[in-house]
């Protein structure tokens, strides 16, 4: 009869590495191999290019243009974060009047955007009935702040940036959502709100993320602000969270 491992219950409740055991003074061979595989997944997430055409196809009629930051390639993007925050001059965006601009950005994990961003848009937009939403922009070599300049160019009162978050050793595909009221150049992170770890089945579900985002966007418009003064006042995670 095999012994019950007391760590099994905790391992089942988290993706964190707990109770790894050891072989002598180090990790076992199996754990070392799992760690190396996770590290490789994280590196791949950072360096893999975004398939913008596939996202545009998935968005269908909701799709707007594909734009680029001033970072010429992935290497420059990683070495020069400032260039990832500025829009390339040949963007071709046309000014209008919109309540909301949605930007899908590769960030530090194109895989997260590829796997999850369109599904979040699918879940969110029906919750924003009556809102004027601009065609969804896809941005390459982009940081969060690039959304401010995109929204200004399009005439958006708010911007929502869905972006690949920095990969962890157990989360190479985590999607973050950043919303900013009255976006403009020079906005800082304290003037934004973030919903992170959107990555079912191991993180927040699409429906759960959409419910939180719709509530935050609505409240942001009501209060005419975003950032540290705008709070998620829900008593608990929404029913779609998991």
Distance between CA 34 and CA 144 in Å, rounded?
31
Per DSSP, the residues of 218-238 read HHHHHHT--STT-----SS--
What are the residues facing 87 on neighbouring strands? 69
Separation in Å, CA 111 to CA 164, 191, 213 = 7, 27, 21
Alpha-carbon dihedral of residues 126, 97, 116, 78, nearest 10 degrees? -170
**Bridging pattern class, strands 156-164 and 192-198:** unpaired
CB of 64 closer than 8 Å to CB of 137: yes
| 120 annotated binding-site participant | no
Residue 191 is labelled as binding a ligand: no
Residue 160, token pair as written in the block: 């929502």
Ramachandran angles phi, psi of 31, nearest 5°: -70, -35
* Tokens 């920095």, located at residue: 166
The annotation status of 144 as a binding-site residue, yes or no, is yes
Residue 15 DSSP code:
S
| Dist CA 105 CA 126 (whole Å) | 21
Binding residues: 144, 165, 194
Binding residues for adenosylcob(III)alamin: 144, 165, 194
């Amino acid at each position: 009869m095999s012994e019950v491992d007391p760590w099994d219950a905790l391992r089942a409740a988290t993706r964190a590495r707990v109770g790894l055991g050891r072989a002598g003074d180090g990790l076992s061979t199996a754990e070392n191999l799992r760690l190396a595989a996770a590290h490789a997944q994280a590196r791949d997430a950072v360096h893999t290019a975004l398939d913008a055409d596939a996202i545009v196809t998935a968005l269908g009629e909701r799709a707007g243009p594909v734009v680029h930051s001033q970072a010429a390639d992935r290497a420059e993007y990683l070495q020069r974060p400032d260039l990832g925050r500025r829009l390339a001059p040949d963007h071709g965006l046309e000014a209008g009047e919109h309540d909301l601009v949605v930007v899908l950005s590769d960030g530090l994990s194109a895989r997260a955007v590829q796997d999850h961003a369109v599904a979040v848009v699918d879940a969110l937009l029906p919750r924003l009935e009556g809102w004027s939403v601009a065609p969804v922009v896809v941005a390459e070599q982009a940081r969060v702040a690039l959304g401010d300049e995109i929204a200004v160019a399009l005439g958006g009162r708010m911007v929502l940036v869905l972006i690949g978050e920095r990969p962890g050793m157990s989360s190479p595909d985590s999607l973050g959502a950043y919303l900013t009221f009255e976006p403009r150049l020079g906005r800082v992170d304290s003037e934004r709100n973030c919903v992170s770890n959107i990555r079912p089945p191991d993180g927040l579900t699409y429906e759960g993320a959409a419910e939180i985002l719709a509530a935050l966007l609505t409240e942001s418009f009501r209060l005419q602000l975003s950032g540290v003064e705008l709070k998620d006042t829900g008593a608990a995670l929404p029913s779609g969270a998991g």
